[in-house]
Chains A and B, each alone.
Chain A
Amino acid sequence: MGYFENAEEVYKYVGGVFRAARENEQVGPKMAAADVDLQIYYSDPESKLTIRMHEPNLEVEDGGDDPNADIKLFMPADIADKYWRGEYNLAVGLAKGQVKAKGPVNKILKLVPLTKPLFPMYRDLVSEKDSVTA
């Protein structure tokens, strides 16, 4: 059993941090400027997110499945949890094959530094769940 009990929790917390990015004055505009559609497929639990980054918007679709997305990432949902806590190096995950990618991954790696300010926000988001499961 992974950290998330079901897809709805993935959407609440992981989808939630992407939505928080949209509202963040420091991060939102820079992510929107990436001009890419990102499709993420999670396992354990099976779930998926579509993130469309095009100025001036950053759209997050829970359960979205865009076969024409520029970049597709495949990973266990636990890796997403660790990443957003600031405990997982995405470049290492890609190198070791723990995260699989299709498309110009370079564009996603450019976004990684932008996400660092969101890590405390994610930890706040999951703190309630952590306190229940601890």
Chain B
Amino acid sequence: MTEVSSSVEQTPATTITATAALLREIGEPLSLEEVQLSEPGGGEVRVKIRGVGICHTDISAAHGVIPIPLPAVLGHEGSGIVEAVGPGVEGLAPGDHVALSFDHCGECPQCAGHHPAYCELFAPLNYFGERLDGTVTMSQGGEDVHGNWFGQSSFATYAIASARNTVKVPDDLPVELLGPLGCGLQTGAGSVLNVLGAKEGESIAVFGLGGVGLGGVMAAKAVGCDPIVAVDLNPERLEIAKELGATHTFNPKETSDLVWEIMDVAAPGVHHSLDTVGLGPVIRQALEVLRTPGHCASVGFQGLENEITIDQGHLLVGRRLSGVVEGDADPQTFIPELLRLYRDGKFPFDRLVKTFPFSEINAAIAASESGEVIKPIVVFD
């Protein structure tokens, strides 16, 4: 675990210019522009970004669903190489290969209890693009650029990241591909392993087969779940789910009674279910396919206000419905765990990836939105 103290001397002052993909207006394409980076502050590091995944949360912010101040730099599945460390950073040094995850305070009861995804300060640390004291990590000609999205803003050639969310990774792995382990893949796999606690021989149904849902399918396969039911409207996604370990797949457009058919696969219902969509009818189905007792984890994000209706009768007799952020994972321990599974061939996340050059970041976002690519990763020279 990276620790922060106040005994290390600050890196000498230098002005670093980065190329960043700026969000200047909600709903508009990102614009590649030069920005100036601040020096890494206490507990911060400067990372030369090598790759960054496109995540649904970035797209939600670009559409105005999350109130980040503009101009801003999005990107929160970054990975790269540490170039400089700020005062008080221990356990990280220039040259380290790292994956970046979400920020957290490290001090509140949830952080102390190893649930940093539920940090008291999760929202102000991750969603508003500035440090808690209101300062920013990027600027352009004297104008503030909100470059602290998820403690990284990695849609840029360089990022100032919090040491807390900077996870050292082995040098022999393709660092440019590791960023999505810090959010999307962590969310799906963490929900299955940390929240649902799925075990060998138990049944699970996964609704929605993007990077998060397929991360859940891979994690379920890795621990020996059987059967593994995968649900999506996209036939290509159902095919790759089979290749990654799903034993049964369903396209809701081709079934007259989805809940009945899933329960028939694992009568009297599945032990676990994972909703990665966030729409009311899907959450309801994910709850209704459970056996008793069973546990449904809902991670799909459809906006900060998202009213749904469920039948309380399905919650009785011991069924649970949990909302989950970031797979309830501690990135400092969970990303290395996922990398061990990757090395063992049990978490082949690279099969979901298509890379795009930084100059084509808007095409990468479009490919994610259209569903053409499961996990676009923008790579840097």
B88 within 8 Å of A (CB atoms): no
B124 touches A110 (CB 8 A): no
A89 within 8 Å of B (CB atoms): yes
B134 within 8 Å of A (CB atoms): yes
A92 within 8 Å of B (CB atoms): yes
Residues of A within 8 A of B133 (CB): 89
* Contact A95-B124, Cβ < 8 Å, known A89-B132, A89-B134, A106-B67: yes
* Contact A106-B70, Cβ < 8 Å, known A89-B134, A91-B124, A95-B121: no
A interface footprint on B186-203 (CB within 8 Å = 1, 0 otherwise): 000000000000000000
B121 touches A110 (CB 8 A): no
A89 touches B124 (CB 8 A): yes
Residue of A nearest to B69 (CB): A113
Residue of A nearest to B130 (CB): A89
What is the CB-to-nearest-CB distance from B8 to chain A, in angstroms, rounded to a whole number?
A: 26
B308 within 8 Å of A (CB atoms): no
What is the CB-to-nearest-CB distance from A82 to chain B, in angstroms, rounded to a whole number?
A: 11
B123 within 8 Å of A (CB atoms): yes
Q: In residues 266-318 of chain B, which contact A (Cβ within 8 Å)?
A: 304-305
Assembly CA distance A94 to B132 (angstroms): 13
B67 touches A109 (CB 8 A): yes
Residues of A within 8 A of B121 (CB): 92, 95-96
Residues of B within 8 A of A92 (CB): 121, 124, 132
Residues of A within 8 A of B90 (CB): none
Chain A residues within 8 Å of chain B by Cβ, number: 13
B123 touches A112 (CB 8 A): no
What is the CB-to-nearest-CB distance from A116 to chain B, in angstroms, rounded to a whole number?
A: 8
A63 within 8 Å of B (CB atoms): no
B123 touches A91 (CB 8 A): yes
Residues of B within 8 A of A104 (CB): 304-305
Residues of A within 8 A of B305 (CB): 104, 106
Assembly CA distance A5 to B24 (angstroms): 42
B70 touches A113 (CB 8 A): yes
Residues of B within 8 A of A113 (CB): 69-70
A86 within 8 Å of B (CB atoms): yes
Residues of B within 8 A of A106 (CB): 67, 304-305
B interface footprint on A76-115 (CB within 8 Å = 1, 0 otherwise): 0000000000100101101110000000101001101100
* Contact A86-B120, Cβ < 8 Å, known A104-B305, A113-B69: no
Known: A92-B124, A113-B69. 18 other contacts (CB 8 A): A89-B124, A89-B132, A89-B133, A89-B134, A91-B127, A91-B128, A95-B120, A95-B121, A95-B122, A95-B123, A96-B120, A104-B304, A104-B305, A106-B67, A106-B304, A109-B67, A110-B67, A112-B67
Chain A residues close to B by CB (< 8 Å): 86, 89, 91-92, 94-96, 104, 106, 109-110, 112-113
9 closest cross-chain pairs (CB), A and B = A113-B69, A91-B124, A110-B67, A109-B67, A92-B124, A106-B304, A95-B121, A95-B120, A91-B128
25 CB contacts below 8 A, A to B, read A89-B124, A89-B132, A89-B133, A89-B134, A91-B123, A91-B124, A91-B128, A92-B121, A92-B124, A92-B132, A95-B121, A95-B122, A95-B123, A95-B124, A96-B120, A96-B121, A104-B304, A106-B304, A109-B67, A109-B128, A110-B67, A112-B67, A112-B69, A112-B128, A113-B69
